[in-house]
Structure 1
């Protein structure tokens, strides 16, 4: 009897030990996530964001009314509930009892003033266009009306009312963007440089605190003990090393010093892929990003749509990107970008399929040389010009890595073969190119365009009006505008069909020439017991366990 009793104790002890060790391991695996980041975030202030490195930080340190989750769903975050008016023009949010990192309440007044700061004509925000659906937002940003007339109103400390110009089916997708996060207004007014460094003045309401910001070197985020209670799984600490050199990042990954490479924040050197494929599992995920050639529709002869279509249809995209699905090493475009993205598919459309529930709709034929020649000949007759007019045309491009020259030369060769036109190419630094784009001092420019939120409108709305700051093509079409406006009053399939009609009009006139839509190409440390989900320009939290037993 005693022997049996002691045996039970021993077995129980062994089981307890293994459970304890497993518990320790599970606790350990979510303690710290180690990442590299290629560049210093330009700002920690979510009102001033606009580039990927800053956006990643904003989603860690701040939180808006709603939040995007790894499965693509959008859930209430700082908001506890909401009511929508019958005409879908007014939405009232009721806030949770949440606090800032100094334990003072987050209020509707913080939301109201943070958003109105962005819409102030003097405020340096790159994302004010996201607020366009809100009543009078655009007019206020242009300085035409006072901010008090914008449809953003804190009814009381816990109630925020938004009034829209028209129903907005994608409103919650917009609200999930980091620009809609609040800042602590009292702190902002008292400490204007609060976002420049870590410290007591860096007040935030997101899942993490800024523990350390060693500029150009390292950023450390730790769990915010004042963050609202959720069931979300997150690391207790995230360490970002600012490492610009891709080879160093690769070496750190192979030595186990970082956990992910090739996400939206780092790059995989493509010449290393063959050896990496033998040791690691290389994963892909669609990315709402398109490489394209922007055409200045106000610059002769590209003011003629048949000229633009001729150049667009003459391109052999499959020749550029290599045979789809045959690997990274086959892609000329992947050689160009050299930043861990790989062509997913030829872009015979404008909106990436991942923004349309993976519906792939082609609006023109790739490598349609016969039709391209027809358009060119018709346009030259209509304009009374010859091929010599293109002698002064230059295709501008910029790149931080090798490979861009080869890609430009390939496009140059394709146009020469198909259209008997030689287009000069010229490399410029990004600052010079942006200046030319804004001033309209160009004919053609090669660039990447990323969606800001998960809806086709994120791409289509940029070209609605010619005076939009990021509509570098200076293109405008009244029927296109009418269809975009009409889409606000439709839902589901009816809305999708209207937006695709608009997309067809756009590509029939081709103010930009789409080349291809990108994928993420990344590797995650196989010893991690949880998935590190990626979306848009950032990793998403919460994380999810591979092993459901965890």
Structure 2
């Protein structure tokens, strides 16, 4: 079987490499080029229309907002030449833009491009899923709901290079939020020229970031080239960035082994093989994965003890060690570590007291109590997951744990393509779903707000008036009282965990093979995954040893 599997991988690799032997092919290392395998394609080049991490990662390379994030995920000037000047108690921001920023079509990047982009994202007929993240701008929610005209949105171009933003309240993380994809500018001329086709191909967009898209073949590859019109292009070392879309991580590692790519993620069963390799990198990401339990479709999930039983029945340490083996961490909370700090500098996630640690005896007690209250002897439900080999292994582990530690429970697995799984959650057409969430800005509310009653991501049927009020206070009257605000968010998360509408399993880790010649690669915990602006390929380094040749 091993020989047969090796043969299949070899054949697949030959097919992948076929036709790419030209000097400028996607696997060519001629000049300064960074070559990376990605597990899925981006959805669009339209910053108003995406929610996936791959698209946000590409946006970091080809667009630039008012601010970018440094290696500590702090806002640094991008198109803005300095941090905002605050007035009106922090609710009014005046932002000066640099005058040398340009689009790849030669147009100047101006304050009007931000006004147009934000207004377009909030128009009801745009149907931007991330519009809610802009609601801290004055009148944004009303505009998005069609109750006010876009001209009433609290963003104005005072002149070509001065942007004035009116907020509903002072936001401590607003500069980092402005670096997020949906806040990036759009060139009105390009959007109107291409209409509904805008952002669907490399040619039907214009770019103001360090790179521009040269070629995009859907579900195959994305090729970037240096944007010579970028205002800071002298600091950009790479000539090209080549992404290869491959769902099969075995094929990705094979490409790395042949020197055909510089970066690829690998699966748990591959980590041991590369344990002694210089290129193996493990990192912990600020993303939480958990089982959602839908109380609307499974009446037994309305019982708190049943939810607690399931949440406590999964051996999470065993999961991250045997299933993941990639730097992932067992998780009992909701807000991931590396997301936000408390006023005294402690990681917020580490301050949470959770009752959801693995405890099979306690799980059994909750299960027995639930059965008695519900008048049932057993429970059968289906958990949706994605249609990848890795997702299947994860789901099988969770199934085995739940059925072993809660005799009488039958957990069925349904594999679906990513978009279908997400759509089933949005429409509440599921029983349980293995889901995940990562931060969009460095604050616990990036997690806590999605579980408020009525939020589009809280499709579990769970709600708590006390929880909702605490989150509302943390995003309102307590914004200038950091200690009280932190206490409110801590209490809110502990209410959520004690009610257990979700069953946290792990914080995501990632095992990568990265060419030691790659220098200056910045990873982010919020927004797009990487920044490649300062990446350089140091060919004086030996790829195998990481030492100077």
Partner of residue 340, structure 2: 356
Separation (CA, whole Å) in 1 of partners of 2:231 and 2:145: 37
Higher mean C-alpha displacement, 175-184 vs 243-252: 243-252
Task: Identify the residue that residue 441 of structure 2 maps to in structure 1.
Answer: 453
* CA-CA distance at 1:415 after TM superposition: 3.1
Conserved? CA contact 1:69–1:542, under 8 Å: no
Counterpart in the other structure of 2:470: 483
Q: How does 1:408-427 map to 2 (within 5 A)?
A: 408-427=395-414
1:143 aligns with 2:134: no
Q: Where in structure 1 are there 5+ consecutive unaligned residues?
A: 1-27, 263-267, 323-330, 335-341
Shift of 1:516: 0.6
**Structure 1 residue aligned with 2:429, among 441, 445, 451?**
441
Does 2:457 correspond to 1:470?
yes
Aligned match of 1:296: 294
- In the alignment, what sits opposite 2:182? 179
Question: Conserved in 1, the CA contact under 8 Å of 2:294 and 2:460?
Answer: yes
Cα distance in 2 for partners of 1:173, 1:370 equals 44
User: CA 1:177–1:363 in 2, change beyond 3 Å: closer, same or farther?
Assistant: same
Instruction: Give the superposition deviation at 1:506.
Output: 1.0
The question of 1:524 aligning with 2:514 is answered yes
Aligned to 1:195: 199
Q: Deviation of residue 412 (structure 1)?
A: 3.4
Q: 2:86: which partner in 1?
A: 84
Contact 2:386 2:416 in 1 (8 A): yes
Structure 1 residues 28-63: Cα deviation after superposition (integer angstroms, max 9, x where no partner): 998222223333322111121211222222111111
2:256 paired with 1:253: yes
Deviations, residues 98-137 of structure 1 (Å, cap 9, x unaligned): 2212222212221111111111111142211221222232
The offset of 1:280, in angstroms, is 3.3
Q: Secondary structure at the match of 1:502?
A: helix
Check 1:312–1:68 CA distance in 2 against 1; reply closer, same or farther (3 A cut).
Answer: same
Aligned partner of 1:305 in structure 2 is: 304
Note the C-alpha offset of 1:177: 0.8
Q: 1:221-255, CA deviations, whole angstroms, 9 ceiling, x for partnerless residues?
A: 22222212377454132122334433332222112
Aligned residue in 1 for 2:276: 278
Cα 1:497–1:542 shift into 2, 3 Å:
farther
Matched, 1:503 2:493: yes
Partner of 2:207: 204
Structure 1 residue matching 2:48: 3-state secondary structure: helix
- Measured after TM superposition, the shift of residue 425 of structure 1 is 0.8
Instruction: Tell me which moved more, 108-117 or 428-437.
Output: 428-437
Cα deviation for residue 216 of structure 1 reads 4.0
Contact in 1 for aligned 2:402/2:411 (Cα 8 Å): no
What does residue range 7-18 of structure 1 map to in structure 2 within 5 Å? none
Q: Does the 8 Å contact 1:394/1:425 carry over to 2?
A: yes
Q: Secondary structure at the match of 2:276?
A: helix
TM-score (norm 2): 0.82
Paired position in structure 2 for 1:95: 97
* Pair 1:520–1:497, CA change in 2 (3 A): farther
Q: Which residue of 1 aligns with 2:32?
A: 31
How far did residue 78 of structure 1 move? 0.8
Residues paired across the two proteins, number: 495
* CA distance, structure 1, for counterparts of residue 213 and residue 199 of structure 2: 10
2:331 to 347, 364, 376: 347
Q: How far apart are 1:154 and its partner, in Å?
A: 2.3
Question: What's the Cα RMSD here?
Answer: 2.8
Match among 528, 534, 540 for residue 531 of structure 2: 540
Partner of 1:67: 68
CA distance 1:527–1:212, change in 2 (3 Å)? same
The equivalences for 1:20-59 within 5 A come to 31-59=32-60
- TM-score (ref. length: structure 1): 0.82
Using the TM superposition, give the Cα deviation of residue 514 of structure 1 relative to its aligned residue in structure 2, in angstroms. Answer: 0.4
In structure 2, the partner of 1:318 is: 317
